[in-house]
Amino acid sequence: MSDRFKTRAISADRRTSHVLCGAVLGLALAGVAAHAHAEAAYPCQTVRLVSPYPPGGTTDILARIVAPGLSKGLGTTVIVDNKGGASGNIGTEFVARSKPDGCTALLGNNTGIVINRNLYKLKLDPVTGLAPVGMVASVPLVLYVNQAVPAQTAPKLVELIKSSPGKYSYASAGSGSPQHLAGELMKLDKHLDMLHVPYRGASPALSDVLAGQIPIAFETTTALAPQLKSGRIRALATTGAQRARTLPDLPTMQEAGFPGFVIENWYGVFVPTETPKALVDRLNAELNRVLREASVAAKLAELGSRDVSGSVAQFQSFIRKELPLWESVVKRSGATVD
């Protein structure tokens, strides 16, 4: 074969190769596009993310932080629906009884999922009625007081309460909440005579402490962030195992003379138990993507949360470990529903 014909043959082979590569690339891109389209086709025009507490509390704040990102990732509208009442039981049961189609989810917390079952005669057990999707946040509580309370530290507050038995009361976001149990453990550890005053959520409890109606309370770093910055309240200690990143100068309860006093509020997304696994996994993937967004991660860190993203299986395992822990806290504190 002449060199001229060889050159033509090589050129033809190259053109064929280019065509084949183009075809393969086109098929690959089509596959990616089809996969992306399938991922975008979430089966709900609107997803209702239920917060089982009134607006303004930590659960509501977290729901509104993650809702926009979930809406973008799922390709549908995600609305936050506040269904407060009965220490979170009303909203929690509403979601558990909803159609398991991925269109109704709960931004729940340890109160509604693992604590209330030890305090209430529930119509439905949230552990069996709800499927975990993924954790959103975990934050310590802050022991804080109205500025008129003449105590600058937790030990001084204990002395003050002991000096006037029955005079002081503490507010909580509701009976059975970690805020309530923290107060009961404080009473138990130091043999304090102090009245519990439950509210329907963190926001109304905080309002009355700010107004001087109730002198003492425990609340999450999340809900207290604006007031802590403004100096309208006095923080005395936090309940985490280590000092809060957002409050590094504030001692933990353990450092303030309460050995073993560690309580955190955790929050996560749940759906009705029979929701198809594919939808649960899709929600988990989108939730983790939202939590990794720089703006969201920064907001959560500012509110005192550590990184809690992970798989569905990890969240399920975490909840199984939480069940005996909170059962023990309820029994040890002697807490009851007021």
Query: Which helix (H) or strand (E) element contains residue 11?
Result: helix 3-40
Examine the pLDDT at 224 and tell me if it is beyond 50.
yes
Q: What's the pLDDT at 40?
A: 56
> What share of the chain has pLDDT > 70, as a percent?
88
Domain membership of residue 41 (yes or no) is no
Q: Would you state the structure tokens that stand for residue 93, as one six-digit string?
A: 């049961």
Query: How many whole angstroms separate alpha carbon 326 and alpha carbon 130?
Result: 18
Yes or no: say if 100 and 274 are a contact pair by the CB < 8 Å rule. Answer: yes
331: left (phi over 0), alpha (psi -120 to 50) or beta: alpha
156 and 234 together in one domain? yes
Instruction: State the pLDDT at residue 98.
Output: 98
| Residue 220 scores a pLDDT above 60 | yes
Summarize pLDDT for 140-150 with one digit per residue, the tens.
Answer: 999 999 999 99
What span, in angstroms and rounded, lies between the C-alpha atoms of 319 and 317?
5
Report the C-alpha gap between 229 and 303 in whole angstroms: 12
Q: What is the mean pLDDT of residues 192-212?
A: 92
Question: What's the whole-model pTM score?
Answer: 0.79
The answer to whether position 37 is within a domain reads no
Q: What is the pLDDT of residue 32?
A: 41
Q: List pLDDT tens digits, range 270-324.
A: 999 999 999 999 999 999 999 999 999 999 998 889 899 999 999 999 999 999 9
| CATH number (domain holding residue 298) | 3.40.190.150
Q: Which of 78, 85, 157, 92 is nearest to 129 (CA)?
A: 92
* Whole-number Cα distances in Å, 44 to 102, 131, 266: 7, 18, 27
Does 107 share its domain with 153? Answer: no
d(CA 221, CA 189) in angstroms, rounded, equals 23
Residue 243 lies in a domain: no
Tell me if 165 is assigned to some domain: yes
Instruction: Give the span between the Cα atoms of 311 and 288, in whole angstroms.
Output: 8
Same domain, 231 and 285: no
Same-domain check for residues 288 and 274: yes
Average pLDDT, the chain: 88
Q: How many domains does the chain have?
A: 3
How confident is the model at residue 303, as a pLDDT?
A: 84
d(CA 121, CA 144): 31
- pLDDT digit string (tens) for 40-97? 589 999 999 999 988 988 899 999 999 999 999 999 999 999 999 888 999 999 999 9
Question: Phi, psi (5° rounding) for residue 94?
Answer: -55, -45
**Domain residues for 1?**
1-32
- Check which CATH number belongs to the domain holding 215 and give it: 3.40.190.10
**Structural contact between residues 140 and 131, judged by C-beta atoms closer than 8 angstroms:** no
Same domain membership, residue 222 and residue 164: yes
DSSP class of 85: -
> pLDDT at position 85, please?
86
Does the residue 101 lie in any domain?
Answer: yes
In this predicted structure, the answer to whether residue 119 has a pLDDT above a threshold of 70 is yes
- Residue 313 included in any domain: yes
For residue 275, tell me if it sits in a domain.
Answer: yes
Backbone angles phi and psi of 133, in degrees to 5: -105, -55
Say what the pLDDT of residue 111 is.
Answer: 92
DSSP β-ladder status, 104-109 and 216-220: unpaired
Q: Tell me, what amino acid is at 173?
A: A
Query: What does the block give as tokens for 72?
Result: 């973008």
| Residue 338 CB contacts under 8 Å (≥ 6 apart), including other chains | 175, 196, 198
* Beta-bridge partner residues of 144: 217, 235
Identity of the highest mean pLDDT range in 94-103, 224-233, 237-246: 94-103
Residue 213: inside a domain:
yes
Query: Are 155 and 89 members of one domain?
Result: no
